[in-house]
Amino acid sequence: MDRLQTMLAFVTVAEEQSFSGAARRLNISPPVVTRAVAELEQRLRVKLLNRTTRYVRATEAGLRYLEDARRILEEVDIADEAAAGVNADPRGNLVVTAPVLFGRMHVLPGVIDYLNRYPETQVSALFLDRVVNLVDEGIDVGIRIGELPDSSMRALRVGAVRLVSVASPNYLKKNGKPKSPKCLSEHSTIASSAANNFIGWQFKASKNNQGFRINPRLVVSTNGAAIEAARKDFGITRVLSYQVASYLATGELKPILEEFEPLESPVHIIHREARYSSAKIRAFIDILADRFRSDAALNSTAD
């Protein structure tokens, strides 16, 4: 392999943390990937990867080389696109991340649209309920819900969501509708450990913006499970508005305590500034932005 190909093989192994995963992503055989990385290490005379039967991790030298290699490969892609002209179709692999439920409901349809439009592209979608470092984990595009910290990332606001408390009509008919957050202590509550402060629910009218500590009768590990329990008339749960928009529209769930809910949280598409000149990044962001801004469930207020 030439130098760029061995560099690409190493970067892919480091990002996938797997030789077989890198082979699948590159559509080549695992032995070819293994030989490419070995060739690169031999030429550089340094160990780039630690290998065990359970994992593959970049060494300290490998992490430094990984950052430089990514930048070089990105610049090569951009140079190729510039030579082909500004109207060149997107091609190559794109890595995207988003929260699990948001990814399934809103990002995945955009990914499929993108792949159908541009047949020379591939997408790796990482739906995770944790904050992912785009630089360290080799991510091209990320979706963030909430205020963004200062960083080197570019961000495009594409909508907004809010926290809502909901219950089924049958539950409310049987147990009554709470008139204030303090009344939650008299109700069966459902908490999701996937949410921040999952047993300290904050409301706009709470003193010093303090949360009301609930004593949930049911704790589940995903917001989807909390929503399902509420739909089955078990109690009250609190999730983001987009997660229950369809159930609120059909009346399967009813909003409660609306006047006490906190302000909305923005939804952003984020990406590294240097990458925006890449056709594959630009096209994907354009598709997602159009979809998000036209989706009533995201309560878009972006300019």
Which CATH number does the domain housing residue 13 bear?
A: 1.10.10.10
Q: Would you state the pLDDT for residue 303?
A: 39
Span 245-256, mean pLDDT?
95
Question: How many whole angstroms separate alpha carbon 276 and alpha carbon 16?
Answer: 23
Q: Would you state the pLDDT for residue 139?
A: 87
Is the separation of the CB atoms in 26 and 12 below 8 Å?
yes
141-145 sheet: strands from edge to edge: 121-127, 92-98, 141-145, 265-272, 153-161
Q: Are residues 279 and 227 in the same domain?
A: no
Query: Of all helices (H) and strands (E), which one includes residue 125?
Result: strand 121-127
Which residue matches tokens 């490419």? Answer: 36
Q: Would you state the pLDDT for residue 160?
A: 93
Q: Are residues 120 and 135 in the same domain?
A: yes
Q: Say if 302 falls within a structural domain.
A: no
Q: Say if 238 falls within a structural domain.
A: yes
Q: Are residues 192 and 251 in the same domain?
A: yes
Span 91-116, mean pLDDT?
93
Question: How many whole angstroms separate alpha carbon 98 and alpha carbon 117?
Answer: 21
Q: Say if 300 falls within a structural domain.
A: no
Q: Are residues 121 and 198 in the same domain?
A: no
Q: Are residues 15 and 84 in the same domain?
A: yes
Q: Would you state the pLDDT for residue 194?
A: 78
Is the separation of the CB atoms in 110 and 288 below 8 Å?
yes
Residue 99 has pLDDT above 80, yes or no: yes
Q: Say if 298 falls within a structural domain.
A: no
What one-character-per-residue DSSP string does 18-32 give?
A: -HHHHHHHHTS-HHH
Q: Are residues 59 and 110 in the same domain?
A: no
Q: Are residues 288 and 143 in the same domain?
A: yes
Q: Would you state the pLDDT for residue 262?
A: 82
Q: Are residues 77 and 97 in the same domain?
A: no
Q: Would you state the pLDDT for residue 301?
A: 45
Provide, for the chain, the percentages of residues in helix, strand and coil under a 3-state DSSP scheme, each rounded to the nearest 5. 45, 20, 30
Q: Would you state the pLDDT for residue 74?
A: 80
CATH number, domain of 278, equals 3.40.190.10
What would the pLDDT profile of 217-237 be if each residue is shown by its tens digit?
A: 999 988 899 999 999 999 999
Q: Would you state the pLDDT for residue 299?
A: 64
Residue 205 has pLDDT above 70, yes or no: no
User: What pTM, to 2 d.p., does this model score?
Assistant: 0.69
- Which range marks the domain in which residue 181 is found? 163-260
Question: How many whole angstroms separate alpha carbon 179 and alpha carbon 181?
Answer: 7
Q: How far apart are the first and last CA of the chain?
A: 47
Span 158-166, mean pLDDT?
93
Is the separation of the CB atoms in 221 and 250 below 8 Å?
no
Residue 153 has pLDDT above 80, yes or no: no
Q: Cα dist. 200→89, 166, 193 in Å? A: 48, 16, 11
Q: Would you state the pLDDT for residue 159?
A: 93
3 state SS of 118: coil
Q: Are residues 42 and 6 in the same domain?
A: yes
Q: How distant is the alpha carbon of residue 9 from its chain centre?
A: 25
DSSP 129: S
What would the pLDDT profile of 37-68 be if each residue is shown by its tens digit?
A: 999 999 999 999 998 878 899 999 999 999 89
What would the pLDDT profile of 174-204 be if each residue is shown by its tens digit?
A: 999 999 888 999 999 999 987 765 667 888 7
Q: Are residues 114 and 248 in the same domain?
A: no
Q: Place 85 in a pLDDT band, splitting at 50, 70 and 90.
A: low
Q: Are residues 111 and 32 in the same domain?
A: no
Q: Determine phi and psi for 278, rounding to 5 degrees.
A: -75, 130
Q: Place 277 in a pLDDT band, splitting at 50, 70 and 90.
A: low
Neighbours of 70 (CB within 10 A): 19
Q: Say if 269 falls within a structural domain.
A: no
Q: Say if 140 falls within a structural domain.
A: yes
Q: Cα dist. 84→10, 90, 189, 269, 298 in Å? A: 27, 11, 58, 27, 37
Is the separation of the CB atoms in 59 and 68 below 8 Å?
no
Q: Say if 266 falls within a structural domain.
A: no
Angle between helices 30-44 and 19-26 (to 10 degrees): 110
Q: Are residues 76 and 124 in the same domain?
A: no
Mean pLDDT taken over the chain: 87
Which residue matches tokens 């004593």? Answer: 215
Q: Say if 157 falls within a structural domain.
A: no
Residue at a domain's end among 45, 61, 88? 88
Token pair of 223, please? 């917001």
State how many domains the chain has.
Answer: 3
Q: Place 239 in a pLDDT band, splitting at 50, 70 and 90.
A: very high
Q: Place 117 in a pLDDT band, splitting at 50, 70 and 90.
A: very high
Residue 97 has pLDDT above 80, yes or no: yes
- 14: which residues sit within 8 A by CB, 6+ positions away? 48, 49, 56, 58, 62, 66, 138
